[in-house]
């Protein structure tokens, strides 16, 4: 008989310890027993819970004359170790707008399992707080004989600085200053109106002048045949474009050959023109080497081409 009695006592103690270890404890407190209208009161909620439980704090909706001003809570769900939580789990600041004994209803929490499944709800006991008027707390404010209460001294009000407007104004002034400095540093172009060219030279005069300068560079003697033909091709193309208004500077030699009927030149002139351009293309792109005699011959043919074609675009005036 005594053997069974010991077994029952051991089982009872074990069950009692497990029940205590798995329970959740909810405690609430106020920082004062009475307050005045409009004065904030701190309502603290303390939770003790095992590690395998999750506590959820829902929103607390209260009716007049109670108003919730603020609520301090890091997250909506928390784990709390048993016996290790010494600070309030939730701290709510509330104010009251009527005098007398006001009943604060109990706060309800939801207890969840470790897998976030619902376990049960727990509600704290309601609390009573006495709300008095400011005249009861400070008798000097009580009116006497129907007279007006004493006027308080004016409280200085600090106007907030308009930091946004100050920042935008500073940026605008800085931009204006930078623009002013840059405008002062700009190099003013000096235009000498006395040296302006009164008239433009004709395309033939410009071409002859450039051929003389090309000859003076002595590019052929310096074994720079490629540069020689680059400039020679440009001079001839520029001459035909300025005299006939055909965009030969933008056309390839093959395109000029295809549209040779646009040029009012005789066949011998246009053939000489195309031969020089083809030779220049070979020297520029195919690295074809021309001897000195060939280069000088092409330069003379270029002079002859310009001289022979002036009559086809330049008007002549005869005096009778």
Report the C-alpha gap between 279 and 297 in whole angstroms.
12
Q: In what order do the strands lie in the sheet with 127-132?
A: 34-36, 127-132, 100-104
Least trusted range by pLDDT, from 164-173, 217-226, 240-249? 217-226
Q: What is the pTM of this model?
A: 0.40
Which residue would you say has higher pLDDT here, 258 or 75? 258
Neighbours of 67 (CB within 10 A): 14
Give yes or no for residue 157 having a pLDDT over 60: yes
Q: What is the pLDDT of residue 139?
A: 54
Lowest-pLDDT choice from 31-35, 71-75, 90-94, 174-178: 71-75
- Please give the DSSP secondary-structure letter assigned to residue 121: E
Question: What are the boundaries of each domain within the chain?
Answer: 19-136, 203-312
Q: Is 19 exposed, middle or buried (0-12, 13-18, 19+ CB in 10 A)?
A: exposed
| Residue in the block written with tokens 């005249």 | 135
CB 137 within 8 A of CB 131: no
pLDDT at 183 (0 to 100): 84
Looking at the chain, the whole-number percentage of residues with pLDDT higher than 70 is 76
Fold type of domain 19-136: Immunoglobulin-like (2.60.40)
CB burial class (10 A; 0-12, 13-18, 19+) of residue 231?
middle
Angstrom distance (rounded) from CA 286 to CA 194: 47
Q: Which segments within the chain are labelled E, that is strand?
A: 25-30, 34-36, 41-48, 53-56, 66-72, 77-78, 90-96, 100-104, 108-113, 118-123, 127-132
């Amino acid at each position: 008989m005594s053997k069974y009695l010991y077994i029952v006592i051991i089982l009872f103690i074990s069950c009692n310890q497990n029940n205590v270890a798995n329970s959740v404890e909810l405690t609430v407190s106020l920082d004062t027993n009475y307050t005045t209208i409009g004065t904030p009161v701190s309502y603290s909620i303390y939770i003790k819970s095992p590690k395998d439980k999750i506590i959820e704090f829902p929103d607390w909706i209260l009716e007049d004359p109670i108003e919730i001003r603020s609520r301090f809570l890091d997250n909506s769900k928390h784990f709390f170790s048993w016996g290790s939580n010494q600070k309030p789990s939730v701290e709510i600041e509330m104010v009251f707008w009527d005098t007398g004994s006001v009943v604060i209803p109990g706060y309800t929490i939801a207890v969840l399992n470790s897998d976030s499944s619902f376990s049960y709800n727990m509600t704290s006991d309601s609390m009573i707080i006495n709300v008095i008027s400011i005249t009861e707390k400070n008798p000097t404010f009580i009116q006497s004989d129907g007279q007006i209460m004493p006027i308080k001294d004016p409280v200085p009000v600090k106007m907030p600085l308009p930091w946004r407007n100050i920042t935008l104004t500073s940026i605008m002034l800085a931009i204006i200053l930078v623009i002013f400095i840059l405008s002062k540093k700009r190099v003013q172009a000096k235009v000498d109106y006395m040296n302006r060219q009164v008239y433009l030279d004709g395309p033939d005069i410009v071409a002859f002048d450039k051929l003389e300068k090309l000859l003076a560079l002595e590019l052929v003697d310096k074994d720079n045949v490629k540069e020689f033909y680059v400039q020679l091709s440009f001079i001839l193309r520029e001459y035909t474009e300025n005299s006939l208004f055909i965009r030969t500077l933008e056309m390839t030699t093959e395109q000029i050959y295809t549209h040779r009927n646009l040029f009012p030149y005789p066949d011998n002139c246009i053939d000489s023109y195309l031969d020089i351009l083809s030779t220049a293309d070979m020297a520029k792109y195919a690295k074809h080497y021309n001897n000195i005699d060939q280069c000088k011959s092409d330069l003379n043919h270029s002079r002859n081409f310009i001289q022979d074609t002036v009559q086809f675009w330049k008007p002549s005036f005869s005096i009778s």
